[in-house]
Amino acid sequence: MTDLLLHHLHKFHLTRFDLKAVLFDMDGVLYDSMPAHDRSWQQTMDELGLKHLPHEFYLQEGRIGRSTIHTIFRRNLQRDASDGEVKRIYARKSELFRQYNSGALIPGAAQVLEYVHSVGLTPVLVTGSGQPSLTERLDTYFPGMFTSETMVTAFDVERGKPDPEPYLKGLRKGGDLKPHQAVAIENAPLGIESAVRAGLFTVAVNTGPLPDSVLEEAGAATVFASMCELLKNLPVIFRAAREIRR
Ligand code: CA
């Protein structure tokens, strides 16, 4: 782990870490909601006769809905969707998502948050989601972990992931932090890209169907198979981050 952290310091011309916060993606990291997102996107596009690619919605994961809709329109119809189309399509997808989403949490997610909180770091949410059904329930499932002051959602950003804006805003909400003062936890390639472009040491948890190599190529420093595996390794990461100097 020390080698990975040192590599990050070299790459970003930093001398040390000074961790204050952990920036968490939501879907696929805290909520086991990606299967329902995937199914509702596929059905929405099938109903419109718009073709999508294998694992497309896992590869697009993290984008704001509008951007996913434009991508599919451009490929199928060689044009962007109109504002009205975006609104209708996203409403249909959200309706299906509410039907299909089980509300299940990713195993180990609550324990990871509790551990982060217990060692004095601030958990910050950085999601591309605009689903109030999920963000409003965070306090039910993870009591006391997030407030509106420590959450970045689709409503807070102009440019969603893979742009660095959501994670840069997450750093601001974490207390006007610099990139060496936080780490990011992500499960999707575009989310990883966003966090890395914001200058963050980014740890991936592979909770979906994509191979680890896709997450590594997106820039993840390391990939764990689950949040439970991450939980076991967090003390090592935090200790190494405290001790190393370049
Ligand atoms: Ca995600």
Q: For residue 135, how far is its CA from the centre of ligand 1 (angstroms)?
A: 13
User: Cβ(20)–Cβ(181) under 8 Å?
Assistant: yes
**CATH number, domain with residue 196:** 3.40.50.1000
Shared-domain flag, residues 96 and 136: no
Are 206 and 224 contacting, i.e. CB atoms less than 8 angstroms apart?
yes
Pairing label, strands 182-186, 222-224? unpaired
- Is 19 found in the same domain as 117? yes
Q: What separation in angstroms does the CA of 70 have from each of 51, 131, 215?
A: 13, 19, 24
Neighbours of ion ligand 1 (CB under 5 A): 25, 27-28, 187-188
Give the three-state DSSP class for 11: helix
How far is the C-alpha of 89 from the C-alpha of 70, rounded, in Å? Answer: 11
pLDDT digits (tens, 9 = 90+) for 62-114: 888 999 999 999 999 999 999 999 999 999 999 999 999 999 999 999 999 99
- What distance in angstroms lies between residue 27's CA and the mean position of ligand 1's atoms? 4
The DSSP secondary-structure symbol of 174 reads T
Same structural domain, 239 and 148: yes
Q: Does 112 share its domain with 191?
A: yes
- Is residue 246 over pLDDT 80? no
Task: Identify the domain boundary among 100, 125, 142.
Answer: 100
Please name which of 163, 232, 149, 158 lies closest in space to residue 192, comparing C-alpha atoms. 163
The verdict on 56 and 90 lying in the same domain is yes
Which letter does DSSP use for residue 104 in this model?
P
> 8 and 91: one domain?
no
User: From ligand 1's centre to the CA of 26, what distance in Å?
Assistant: 6
Residues 3-23, mean pLDDT to the nearest whole number = 95
Q: How far is the CA of 29 from the centre of ligand 1 (A)?
A: 6
pLDDT in tens, 119-129: 999 999 999 88
Tell me the CATH number at 43: 1.10.150.240
pLDDT at 62: 87
Provide DSSP, 66-87: HHHHHHHHHHHHSSPPPHHHHH
CA distance 101 to 50: 23
- HSE-up of residue 39 (Cα within 13 Å, Cβ side): 12
Q: Are residues 41 and 155 in the same domain?
A: no
Task: Name the helix (H) or strand (E) containing 186.
Answer: strand 182-186
What pLDDT score does 225 carry?
98
pLDDT band of residue 179 (cuts 50, 70, 90) is very high
Of 53, 69, 100, the domain-final residue: 100
* pTM reported for the whole predicted model: 0.93
Q: Quote the pLDDT of residue 136.
A: 85
Residue 126 CA, ligand 1 centroid: distance in Å = 9
**The last residue of a domain, from among 100, 118, 133:** 100
Domain ranges, residue 219: 2-33+104-243
Return the percentage of the chain with pLDDT > 70, whole number: 100
Same domain, 119 and 10: yes
Type of residue found at 72 = I
- Residue 187 CA, ligand 1 centroid: distance in Å: 5
List pLDDT tens digits, range 131-177. 887 888 999 999 999 998 999 998 899 999 999 999 999 999 999 99
Q: Determine the Cα–Cα distance for residues 86 and 31; give it in Å rounded to an integer.
A: 25
Checking if the pLDDT of 191 tops 90, the result is yes
Regarding whether 184 and 147 lie in a shared domain, the answer is: yes
Count of domains in the chain? Answer: 2
Average pLDDT over residues 228-237: 97
Give residue 176 CA to ligand 1 midpoint distance, Å. 24
- CA of 179 relative to ligand 1 center, distance in Å: 20
Per-residue pLDDT, 135 = 84
120 and 91, same structural domain?
A: no
At 130 the pLDDT is 82
Q: What distance in angstroms lies between residue 246's CA and the mean position of ligand 1's atoms?
A: 32
